[in-house]
Amino acid sequence: MSTLSDLVHAQGCLTDSDVEWLHRLAGDGQLLADLASADIVVWVRTEDASFIAVAHTRPSGAATLFYRDIVGERVRPQWRTQVQGAFESGEIVDSSSPDWFEETPTRVRAVPILANRSKNDPMRVIGVVTRHTNLGEARTPSRQQITFDECANDLFRMIASGEFPDLAAPTSPRRGAPRASDGLIRIDVDGVTTFASPNALSAFNRMGFDDELEGESLAEVTTRILPVTRQVDESLPVVVTGRAPWRTDIEARGVTVSLRAIPLRDHGTRIGAIVLCRDVTELRHQEQELITKDATIREIHHRVKNNLQTVASLLRIQARRTHSEEAREALTQAMRRVDSIAVVHDTLAQGLTQQVDFDEVFDRVLKLVAEVAAAPNTRARTKSTGHFGVLPSEYATPLALALTEVVTNAVEHGLAGQEGFVTIDATRTDENLRVTVADNGHGLPEGRIGQGLGTQIIRTLIQGELGGTIEWKGTDGEGTEVTIDIPLRWIKK
């Protein structure tokens, strides 16, 4: 399915700022649908003067009229005159009689979308939002339903005058954003509560307020229930008075409630506000646990890195005190392998996820190898091209160690006693990572692949742990090329 941006840009009639306005409106589509107990559809004009649906939201507390998604469809003939009238006149157009949709009586309201993008840019209609109300389920409305409907009408009038959505409002968080069904409080221009839904009252009761919210100043109620010693968010006063479209959390008696204020205006004059509230106590506890666990994991990686560096230092000291050239070489290689693993853990200790920017890791590993592996009479130049990308830590550690061995072999054996270069090229697709390491050194004697510990380590890591393949190519005196292919089908995109 095409996104809102794709559908709008395909029409070629609106600017990027218009698209951003529509995105913000569509982001509050669930709020409009729940308050109006109706399906909400956003339409934009096409090049042939018709209209296409670019967003659709179903009500969570009422039956939907559209069981099939209509996003991407053209406006139906029975709605076109109404939608076109709202678009051209800039006024709200209500259906004069019930509209029948699949044998269900409905009432349709078409609201022009005015974009108030800047003071220097005049407002203009950029689309139409329609409200489709199911009349087949009509029943005597409760006080809450009446209030919700009044709030919806206020927001629709603000949409038609370019006052909603509010560009000063922060974008909705992914988790914990309050909805109309979670709790709704309506306050007047003085901040006095004129309506509080049962869920909103329950949230404040859990924080220690035992009376009725209606008739009370929401700011004074909040002040009474907050502990004196607790530091208050500076945005709290403007949220509970409905003066700004902001969000904040309040906490009392171990209960955390998230608040979102939506100022209501009538042609620029503030007439009150809607305050949505949601008990997010459990959600905040989960977030705190995740933060604690993440900090613990990063500390573990930091300590592992320190321990590995200690081991590498011990190996270095032991190598210097060893008289056997063969033993010294073995200890030096072990030290280099430990250092390569430490680089990965150091990267993990700095990040907030278990994903590794392997290009950064390999740059550090490459410098380490070039400094340590070169023999006295060897001058090796290394160059890395291509892009490894982000890899999970379970890929990064064995790959870093394997590439350390491959590049080390190229420097120590391929270029032993001469000047030359080693190039490393990484090519990544959605399904595969290919790494090619080439040198212009001595090449493989008689085309044979070594059977030493380094080669065994490379095979074990690439084939055993990463499920990949490795191939050596080269002839005596003409350099060596090593190609590693690693499948990435198990990595989440």
Query: Of 278, 62, 281, whose CA–CA distance to 180 is shortest?
Result: 278
Token representation of residue 133: 């109300």
| pTM for this model (two decimals) | 0.66
Amino acid at 403: L
- Work out the angle at residue 361's Cα, subtended by the Cα atoms of residues 472 and 346, and round it to the nearest 5 degrees: 135
Query: Of 460, 404, 475, whose CA–CA distance to 437 is shortest?
Result: 404
**Per-residue pLDDT reduced to its tens digit, 21-50:** 999 999 999 999 999 999 999 999 999 999
**Per-residue pLDDT reduced to its tens digit, 220-232:** 999 999 887 666 6
3-state secondary structure of 318: helix
% of the chain with per-residue pLDDT over 90: 43
What is the residue-wise DSSP string for 93-137? EE-SSPEEETTEEEEEEEEEEEE---SSS--EEEEEEEEEEEGGG
Q: Is pLDDT above 70 for 491?
A: no
Give the per-residue pLDDT at 364.
Answer: 79
Give the per-residue pLDDT at 232.
Answer: 67
Length of the chain as a residue count: 493
**Per-residue pLDDT reduced to its tens digit, 72-130:** 999 999 999 999 999 999 999 998 888 888 788 899 999 999 997 666 667 899 999 99
Amino acid at 5: S
Classify 354-493 by CATH class.
Answer: alpha beta
Q: Is pLDDT above 60 for 447?
A: no
Token representation of residue 271: 């007439």
Instruction: Please list, residue by residue across 27-60, b when 16 or more beta carbons sit within 10 angstroms of its beta carbon and e when fewer do.
Output: bbbbbbbbbbbbbbbbbbbbeeeebbbbbbbbbe
Of 196-205, 315-324, 426-435, highest mean pLDDT: 196-205
Topology given in CATH for the domain delimited by 184-279: Beta-Lactamase (3.30.450)
pLDDT band at residue 446, thresholds of 50, 70 and 90? low
Give the per-residue pLDDT at 117.
Answer: 62
For the chain, where do the domains classified as CATH 3.30.450.20 start and end?
Answer: 184-279
- Considering the domain delimited by 4-160, tell me its CATH architecture: 2-Layer Sandwich (3.30)
Mean pLDDT on 432-439? 90
CA 19 to chain centre: 19
> What rounded mean pLDDT belongs to the chain?
85
3-state percent helix, strand, coil for the chain, nearest multiple of 5: 40, 25, 30
**Per-residue pLDDT reduced to its tens digit, 240-290:** 999 999 999 999 998 999 999 999 999 889 999 999 999 999 988 887 777
Give the per-residue pLDDT at 394.
Answer: 81
Instruction: Please list, residue by residue across 324-338, b when 16 or more beta carbons sit within 10 angstroms of its beta carbon and e when fewer do.
Output: eeeeeeebbbbbbbb
What is the residue-wise DSSP string for 419-471? EEEEEEEEEE-SSEEEEEEEE-SS--GGGPPP-SHHHHHHHIIIIIIS--EEE
Give the per-residue pLDDT at 79.
Answer: 93
For the chain, where do the domains classified as CATH 3.30.565.10 start and end?
Answer: 354-493
Q: Is pLDDT above 50 for 493?
A: no
**Per-residue pLDDT reduced to its tens digit, 138-195:** 678 899 999 999 999 999 999 999 999 988 787 765 566 899 999 999 999 999 999 9
Euclidean distance between the first and the last CA atom of the chain, given in angstroms as a whole number: 19
| DSSP code for 269 | E
- H helix runs in 4-119, sequence order: 4-11, 16-27, 29-36, 77-89
For the chain, where do the domains classified as CATH 3.30.450.280 start and end?
Answer: 4-160
